[in-house]
Amino acid sequence: MTISEQIITITLCVLGTMTTRFLPFLIFSEKRPTPAFVQYIGRYLPSAVFGIGMKAP
């Protein structure tokens, strides 16, 4: 891999990661109320997700 290919590879890792982190906030902006279903999912997800965390450190 050349240096520029390395830079592109690392940049893609950063962009991909930030897409998964920022996407929910871009879709459901502060200015509009979050749909009730999404709020409901957001309330109950964490309990379920911490269960995954114990298996996939």
Partner 1 sequence: MKRKALKAAFPYTIPIFAGFWFLGLAYGIYMNVSGFSFVYPMIMSLAIFGGSLEFVAVSMLLSPFAPVQTLVMTLLIQARHLFYGISMLEKFKNMGWKKFYLIFGMCDETFSINYTADIPKDVDRGWFMFFVTLLNHFYWVSGATIGGLLGSLIHFDTDGISFVMTSMFVVIFMEQWMKEKHHISAYIGLLVSAACLILFGADSFMLPTMAAIIALLAASRRKLEKLEVNES
> What is the smallest separation between the CB atom of 3 and partner 1, expressed in angstroms?
11
- Smallest gap from Cβ 26 to partner 1, in A, equals 9
Q: Which of 24, 53, 54, 50 is nearest to 39 (CA)?
A: 24
Residues near partner 1 (CB under 8 A): 1-2, 5-6, 8-10, 12-25, 28, 30, 34, 37-57
Rg (CA), the chain: 17
Token reading at 32: 């509009």
Q: How far is the CB of 39 from partner 1 (least distance, A)?
A: 7
